[in-house]
Structure formats: C-alpha cells, structure tokens
Amino acid sequence: MATIEFLGAAGTVTGSKFLVESGGRRLLVDCGLYQGLKDLRRRNWGRLPVDPSSIDWVVLTHGHIDHTGYLPRLVNDGFRGAVYATRATVDLLKILLPDSGHLQEEEAAYHNKRGTSKHLPALPLYTAEEGAEAAGRVTGVGYDEWFELAPGLRVSFKRAGHILGSAIVTLEIAAGSARRRLVFSGDLGRYGAPILPDPAPLGEADYVVVESTYGDRRHEAEPIAEQLARVVGAAVERGGAIVVPAFAIGRTQELMYHLSGLEKAGRIPRLPAYVDSPMAINATEIYCAHPEDFEGDMRAMVMDRNCPLHCGDFRLARTPDESRAINEVSGPVLIVSASGMATGGRVLHHLKQRLPDPGTTVLLVGYQAEGTRGRRLLNGEATLRIFGDEVPVRARVDAVHGLSAHADADGLLRWLGTAARPPDRVFVVHGDPGPAATLAGRIRKELGWRATVPAYRDRAPLGGGDAP
C-alpha cells in the first residue's frame, strides 16, 4: 500500500518534504531547507531519514527556498533521480539555488573568521556552484497536463497563484482498477490578488495536503492600493526618500504593479523610482518571459511586452556603481531594495544613508520576524545597528498590510471547498502549531472532513477508506 511520510513542514512553516512510497518507488514532493529556529536548521545538516540514492523522483511545487533549497544537498548526498517543476520555477531556481549556495558560503566564511563554529574549517551546506548544478537537473513541465513518472504513477501541475511558477500538485497512483489521488496545495496564493490568477480548483482528491501559514488569520480588509496611496502621499509631503525593503521575488513585482497603477490614475505623483536589486530585476524578466502563468488582461499585456510590472519611470540598478549613484538623488524618490526584513542586501546601504534624515519614510511591506532590523524599525527603536555603526532613526516608519503571497484562513477554506467531493483525509502542514491546529479544527467543523496535523516523521497509509 502507498504511504506518505512527513519529513518537513510538519508543525512548522519551513523544510517542506513529503515522501510518497508506492510499489517500491519513492517520490519526494518538495525538497525544502529549514529556516529560522536553530533546532530546525540543524536538521539541514543531519542525514535525511531516507537514503537520497533510493529516491526516484522529486517534484517541486514552487521556487521558494523553504520548498527547494535542500535539493543541492540531496544531490550531493547521492540522489540521481529526475526532478520536475513548472517552466517558470525552473528559471527562478537558476537564480535562487546559486544565491542560496552563495549565502551558505558567506555564513561559513563568517564563522571561520570569528572562530564560532565547532568545525574547522566550517563548510557551507552547499556552494553556489552546487546550487547551479542542482538547478540544472530540473525539468520544466507545463500546467494542466498529466506527465507519467512510471506506469500507474502520474502528476499534474495547476496554478496556485502564490508566486510565479507556483503549482498545486496532483499525484495519481493507480494499481489495477484502483486509483487514488493525492493533492498538495503547495503554498496557496490569495483570491482576487493582482498579477497572478486565483488558485485553481482542487478537483478530485482522496487525500489533501494543505498549507496553513495563515491558518488562524484574516488579511487586512483595506485594499492595498488605498493603503499605498495614503502612505506614499504622506511620504511625498515629507519631501525625502521612500525606502522600501522588499523580497526580490513576488513582493517587489506586486509593489511595482500597484505603484504604476496609482501613478497612471494620478493618485500619486510620478516619482523617480529605483529597483536596486539584481535578483529582483532578473526575477521581473522571468515574470515577463512566462505568459503561461497569467490569465486574461495580464497575459495579454505580458505577451505584448507591455508588462505593468515595469512602472513608468522605474530605473533599474544592477551594478554596485549604479546602486551608489542613488545616494546622490535628493527630494522624493522611491528606492525598492532587498532584503525584505533588512537582514542583509543592498537596502542596508540605503537605510544607513537615509535613516538619519527626518524627511525619509521607510515603508515596510511584508512580515518582519522577531530579531530583524525590520522588526526593530517597526518597534520604533531610536537607533539601528548597520555595518557596525549605531545609525540614528529620524525617518518615519510606515507599514502596509495585504501584500502577502499566502491565502488567509478563509482563502484556504474556500480552496478546500472547491474539491469535487469530500476527501478521505486532510493533512494540515506548513504552519506553526497554533495556525495549523486552528485550520484543522475549522476543516473538521465547517466542512465535516477528517483533518489532522502530522508531526515530523509521521507516516500515513494512502489506502482505500481504511482508517489507520
């Protein structure tokens, strides 16, 4: 009988890895890195509970590192099978996996310099080159078509609306006349968000593995365009720069889309605007190269090379010199730069330069984790440590809510409600314990389905209606 084992994103949001075994073959759905808490990150270094050389296939739901960043390590440890993802995900991985390796190398170098590792020398989990190699192994597949891994085992991708290339994965296992379908939500986008389409309907499923990042939350009701119009309007009156720390993929493009819409509608003045992040610029080009990810007007505009992700007056800074030149710009100017929580990246140079100026506005557009500079700014701290200096914070700090790439609890239930019939069982994953338990409770109560939150290394049968 087929089984599923939860090797990651069980009771936590990172490290997504779901092992399906059927007829002696092994398929890993997602191959994510653990991020965040140290105890979880330690699992990136331990041996995977299953021998990587015994895994036949890996199928990836989307490009985010917490779903793909373990792949280079899996390859280093002996995995020789085939890897499948959507075509846009393949392109994004060619940027993301080498970048992840680069960060691993930087971290190792930092520990070696400070002597803060037990291991001498400290080694990276994998290198940028190994990241590039792993990305080169991934085969791109179109949406809405079945592809066969082996007789009796086939897979299809449907649009998930989370980031470019993101997919809901349906796995069908057939044995004789019996056929079981297992649907993985991957990370699910918001309904009614711009740029990407709504999540595709769930369809036929015997088992569902659903994410629960915001399993206990409801997103802000005020439309994001209204919030941005208000905040940008006030910032322009202050007369200085608007510095936006933003994630390079997804967040930056959605922000550009809204700002260009507000400019065109005359609701905010036309500002000189800079996107200072090579990764964001590359990612935006990948968005524009994949019309298959879009629907309706957006697809038509992308195909016309009239992509609304490029604002009227957006200037792109690729090189460090172009980045430094932004320092000379005075008056109202928009500077969008990674990283999103100001933990690193070029945005630190802009913050160091602009925070002491009371005319500056810092605009936070995403979740700011505990301990990050973004959270410190949000908490109103008077100084911020950047490159060894205590930088005084005289700038105004604003935040907008609603640019999240994840569905909220109502969105997750709405998607589950698109199932063609009640599944036998729902596994709630990819959430902290509170949100996961809350969502599982709502699924049981509001849909009347069997829903549980699996723990790390739990294994469940994917048989008929036979409850374990």
What is the binding site for Zn ion (CB under 5 A)? 64, 187
Smallest distance, Å, CB 103 to Zn ion?
Answer: 17
Q: Which is nearer to Zn ion, 250 or 454 (CB)?
A: 250
Q: Which is nearer to Zn ion, 377 or 409 (CB)?
A: 409
Q: Which is nearer to Zn ion, 25 or 62 (CB)?
A: 62
Which of 290, 255, 287, 250 minimizes the C-alpha distance to 274? 255
Helix (H) or strand (E) holding 29: strand 25-29
List of long-range contacts for 101-106, beta carbons under 8 Å, 24+ apart:
101/72, 101/126, 101/127, 101/128, 101/129, 101/130, 101/131, 101/132, 102/128, 102/131
Smallest distance, Å, CB 208 to Zn ion?
Answer: 18
Please give the full DSSP string across 365-379, using - where no structure is assigned: -S---TTSHHHHHHT
Residue whose tokens read 């322009």: 236
Smallest distance, Å, CB 36 to Zn ion?
Answer: 14
Please report the beta strands in 237-288, taking only residues with DSSP state E, as ranges in sequence order. 241-245, 273-275
Q: Which is nearer to Zn ion, 26 or 251 (CB)?
A: 251
Smallest distance, Å, CB 186 to Zn ion?
Answer: 8
Enter the tokens of residue 325.
């030149």
Smallest distance, Å, CB 407 to Zn ion?
Answer: 11
Q: Which is nearer to Zn ion, 60 or 74 (CB)?
A: 60
Smallest distance, Å, CB 286 to Zn ion?
Answer: 16
Smallest distance, Å, CB 62 to Zn ion?
Answer: 6
Strand order in the sheet with 314-316: 314-316, 273-275, 333-337, 241-245, 361-364, 396-399
Smallest distance, Å, CB 343 to Zn ion?
Answer: 18
Which of 357, 355, 385, 391 minimizes the C-alpha distance to 372? 385
Distances in Å between the Cα of 380 and the Cα atoms of 204, 274, 356, 465 are 49, 26, 14, 55
Q: Which is nearer to Zn ion, 66 or 105 (CB)?
A: 66
Residue whose tokens read 């069982």: 425
- Counting every residue written for the chain, the total comes to 468
Which of 273, 237, 247 minimizes the C-alpha distance to 347? 247
Q: Which is nearer to Zn ion, 62 or 73 (CB)?
A: 62
Smallest distance, Å, CB 428 to Zn ion?
Answer: 16
Cβ–Cβ contacts within 10 Å for residue 337, how many? 27
Q: Which is nearer to Zn ion, 187 or 293 (CB)?
A: 187
Enter the tokens of residue 93.
């991985």
Please give the Cα distance from 192 to 165 (Å, whole number). 18
Strand partners, 333: 241
Q: Which is nearer to Zn ion, 83 or 231 (CB)?
A: 83
